[in-house]
Amino acid sequence: MSDGPKQQKSFDRSIVEGALPSAVWKIAWPTMLQNVIGGIQGIIDQAMVGHYVGHTGNAAIGVSIQIFILVIVFVASVFSGMGVLVARFAGSNESNRVNQVVYQAFLTAVFMALGVLAPVGYVFAPWLLEMINAAPEVQVEALPFLRTMFVFSIGMLVFFMMSGALRSAGDAQTPLRLGLMMTALNVILNVILIRGLGPIPAYGTVGAAMGTAIASILTCVVFALLLFSGRLVIRFSRTMSFRPNWSIIRELFRFGLPTGFQGIVMNLAGVFMLRFIGALEFSAEAQAAYAVGYSQLFALITWTSVGLMGATAAVAGQNLGAGQPDRSSQAAVVAGGMGLAVAAVVGVVFVMFPRPLFAVFALDDGVTYELGRQLLGYLAVSGFFVTVALTYTGALQGTGDTRSPLYISVVSQVIIPIGICTYFSVTRELMPADIWLAIVLGHMARAGLSVVRFRQGRWRNITVDIGTAQV
């Protein structure tokens, strides 16, 4: 492969010069679709393991993924700092700086995967399973699965990093295409490795981890080839040194670490809410209603909102880099409006058709359904606040204010909902509606605080420095 005279693909200037709704939507819809595909992939994995291994295998994957996501989300979130730099330099049309930032992020991702996640995850996997009180029979299935995911985490970590880099640079379709390829490979490999095929033995639960590992690594190889080919808006060169650029790496962690800690805060908040649900009179039914209503059905809104969050971050960051902060502000408003439209449609479906929705999960009668129907009513309202919160979070992160979302998350997702639930559990018997209300009020606070913080406009004065000049 030659570096030759090939020209690097130019940045899409419509993001900083064209209509903002088109710019936001251009980046948002591929990310939304990719999120949906990722969710479907997880469902397929669970279904296949459940069919060929049984409920113990499903439980093993469930607890392992919970642990793995908590760790990988923190590590991957560090690269949100890369997104800040890429968007800023892409907006100012500085391709060399974009390439340098992404290459240093790539080297950092490889080191963190091979030098940190692989050895530490392998050694501490048994302790992590003990920490969450996984049943002994579940630990037997979960341990090899979790160790495989950690040891071969390089594929997932590098894929997340490179996908985020391209989206920040204005290209969301390449990550979508490669994500589709990775999903297809994963499904094919799972069919072979979970159940066995010909001379290949049945690996059962660990086969699902092997399939994910192989698919993600192969996808990253293709990703790297494209980066060296010059066909993308980001380009690597064979002349690039393996030597770390500490000025760039320092900026990566400066902007990225707060987002990583935010991910931990959000996951811990979910654990605390599950503990309150477990203390209810009909705890099993309430947990099932929560798992389906909040974790599965409400994802219809969160998947959309996360796509809009990424789009807002890229568009706001690029326009700030282009010296057009007013367009950055307008991008948040446009994305928020799109999210509200989706939340309204999904909310109507929640209120009008709760029984058919729960019937998909065979939970359309009894106490579980009644609790689930009640929860969906609250979530229909909460959806409006979540989508606003996430779009404005994206605007803050994309322009470089990554600390504020962390502080806002602590207040809105930990202090407020846990405080409300604690108050009711102390003063009287805690009811399911109390928990549902706490969720809504937490989302409301997050939306309000995010909007207020963004409108203060302090992000307009945030600079980035990678050692040679400031932007």
Query: Which pLDDT belongs to residue 42?
Result: 66
Distance CA 248, CA 79 (A): 12
Distance CA 172, CA 86 (A): 14
Distance CA 328, CA 87 (A): 12
pLDDT in tens, 163-216: 989 999 989 899 999 988 998 898 889 888 887 787 888 788 888 889 989 999
- Residues written for the chain: 471
With b for 16 or more beta-carbon neighbours within 10 A and e for fewer, the 94-123 pattern comes to bbebbbbbbbbbbbbbbebbeeebbeebee
Query: Which pLDDT belongs to residue 53?
Result: 64
Average pLDDT, the chain: 85
Token representation of residue 16:
């900083």
Query: Which pLDDT belongs to residue 2?
Result: 42
Query: Which pLDDT belongs to residue 142?
Result: 83
Distance CA 371, CA 450 (A): 30
Low-confidence stretches of the chain (pLDDT < 50) are 1-5, 469-471
pLDDT in tens, 280-303: 777 777 777 777 788 778 878 888
Could you tell me how far CA 463 lies from the centroid of its own chain? 26
pLDDT in tens, 308-359: 998 999 999 999 999 999 999 999 999 999 999 999 999 999 999 988 888 8
Query: Which pLDDT belongs to residue 114?
Result: 92
Q: 440, 302, 294: which is closest to 371 by C-alpha?
A: 294
Distance CA 106, CA 83 (A): 12
Distance CA 143, CA 60 (A): 8
306 and 31 in contact (C-beta within 8 Å)?
yes
